[in-house]
Structure 1
């Protein structure tokens, strides 16, 4: 009986010790999680500013203004990009801890190649609510090594349900965040459309809104054109609902861009909205080397794309396919 009681006592003590160790480890783990793996932000609706920067001198600031996000204080940000970034910040989770023998290597890579992410909440833009660093991906490209500011231990982080690394979501170049709108107007927002052909002024025209979806057409000498095809005119105005450019020109040097912009434009299209804000696009042919058309004939200029300046400041590449619907001449509207 005594031997049986002793065995039971040993088993009870072992059980108590096991439970104590379990809870001890659980508490330690919880401390680590709260201190060093708390990358995610549960309520991204309170985030009002994001700052991202890399070691190559690129940085970008995104600020919430009402229902919109603004890039570097000037330009409207792409909704899709902001939503993906906020969703990523919300869903960041530990995939695996970094082993001690990899600490030094991972930390060095984060220090030399990492992207700094500062998160600000509730319009308190003096001090970030949270800061972390996004490092390189693991060998399988299923996550990224990350480090919270003031933490000592990096972690391999991922988004559950997503197979891939997260670097492309943390964009640090301003132009990559900007919306690529040339024109984006609701029908009732347009006050005037002016199109000029510097080398062929007989094609020039201006469309003016009278309100209530009524428009008048004028020639290049500001003379009203009476005999017009109104359905064509209305259809043309509706084409300014959304026209986007393909990209910013970032390959050619600034001197090249300046030389192109100094040439006489093929066409100048300006739209003034009801608030008096004007958007002006000047178009230029895009020269190509060793170009051929579909029949194998040598061509000097790109048949698919052209250069343009947007409000005389942004040098962009535009597809003819996208821009052609807002390309018209005076005679097009005449009956």
Structure 2
């Protein structure tokens, strides 16, 4: 009798385990099949030639590959490191886990209201779209949906991550063109520059010009031409144009303030002409000091303005924030062409 009871219990246990395993495998198999069908990654990132990022507010940014370079849809330069961050995520993204059933509705609602949409194109054709819905509570995963040309759109969100990295995916994707804009202003080799004109409107004694005449140079400082010129100092000055960047786009001034700034008198106007005839003009404006107190600037004057940063109007009309530290090597001509250094004549 005992043997029969043990056998019955054993069979019952095996049947129960079988049913549970079958149910579990059936559910898991369906989920695995779903995850496999909706892969987030694209391993051949070299074939990705267009990316469209759309934020919840409708702001859209289009990135286009042209050869090895990336630009926006107007052909303007974009920061390559940020494109790399996207392609890295596209290559290394992977499934991390399922969204708990009791949280699915909340996650879907959140993705609908604050989600970011990212469309990927390969060799000119749409290939895949990500729907990014924010991070998990531990900030180690991101809620995502995926849609592909082969499998359609997934009906339930999952948690994704980037292989080998901790953190969330969402910060890599934004559509504000100011955040994408390249910060480079000048990137000239010395022999590409034909003329530089630096005009300090408030202090003409600090203004100067450098002109290339065939293989020689002519320098005018403080209204006087230098008759005895150290060419090495000219070379040292022109080498500073190899890399001049602005710090940030404008995130502070309103449209009214921008209009007022542009109608004011710049403290400096910088003009550069290349040997190919390209011309660039920058208009520079003082920035109000945050402290409100006077400080000694790089020229030794007590200034009520910010002595670290100023506003600059680019040739496009855009106002950007710049650092004196970056621009002083091309603005402070007295370092290279001080009148006391040379015998000068008018």
Q: What's the TM-score bracket when you normalise by the shorter of the two chains? A: 0.7 to 0.9
Distance 2:89 2:241 in 1: 34
Aligned to 2:112: 111
**1:166-185 mapped onto 2 (5 Å cutoff):** 166-185=169-188
Deviation of the 1:273 alpha carbon:
3.0
- State the SS of the aligned residue for 2:198: strand
Distance 1:293 1:264 in 2: 20
- State the SS of the aligned residue for 2:289: strand
TM-score normalised by the chain length of structure 1: 0.83
Aligned to 1:300: 304
- State the SS of the aligned residue for 1:292: coil
**Residue 193 of structure 1 contacts residue 208 of structure 1 at CA under 8 Å; is this kept in 2?**
yes
Deviation of the 1:237 alpha carbon:
0.3
**Residue 205 of structure 1 contacts residue 329 of structure 1 at CA under 8 Å; is this kept in 2?**
yes
**Residue 65 of structure 2 contacts residue 71 of structure 2 at CA under 8 Å; is this kept in 1?**
yes
CA offset digits 1:134-176 (Å, max 9, x no partner): 1110000111101113210111111122111122111221110
CA RMSD after TM alignment: 3.1
Deviation of the 1:290 alpha carbon:
4.0
**1:121-270 mapped onto 2 (5 Å cutoff):** 121-124=122-125, 128-149=126-147, 150-209=153-212, 214-219=215-220, 225-270=226-271
- State the SS of the aligned residue for 1:129: strand
Q: Structure 2: state its 5+ residue gaps.
A: 1-10, 148-152, 297-301
CA offset digits 1:5-53 (Å, max 9, x no partner): xxxxx9xx99xx89x96987786455312323x1111111111111101
Query: CA 1:231–1:121 in 2, change beyond 3 Å: closer, same or farther?
Result: same
**Residue 189 of structure 1 contacts residue 273 of structure 1 at CA under 8 Å; is this kept in 2?**
yes
Distance 2:180 2:234 in 1: 34
TM-score normalised by the chain length of structure 2: 0.81
Q: Structure 1: state its 5+ residue gaps.
A: 1-9
Distance 1:189 1:328 in 2: 21
**Residue 207 of structure 2 contacts residue 223 of structure 2 at CA under 8 Å; is this kept in 1?**
no
Deviation of the 1:256 alpha carbon:
0.5
Aligned residues: 316
**Residue 63 of structure 1 contacts residue 73 of structure 1 at CA under 8 Å; is this kept in 2?**
no
Distance 2:277 2:167 in 1: 46
CA offset digits 1:215-234 (Å, max 9, x no partner): 41243899964421211110
Deviation of the 1:249 alpha carbon:
1.4
- State the SS of the aligned residue for 1:76: coil
Distance 1:277 1:51 in 2: 32
Distance 2:228 2:41 in 1: 64
**1:38-53 mapped onto 2 (5 Å cutoff):** 38-53=39-54
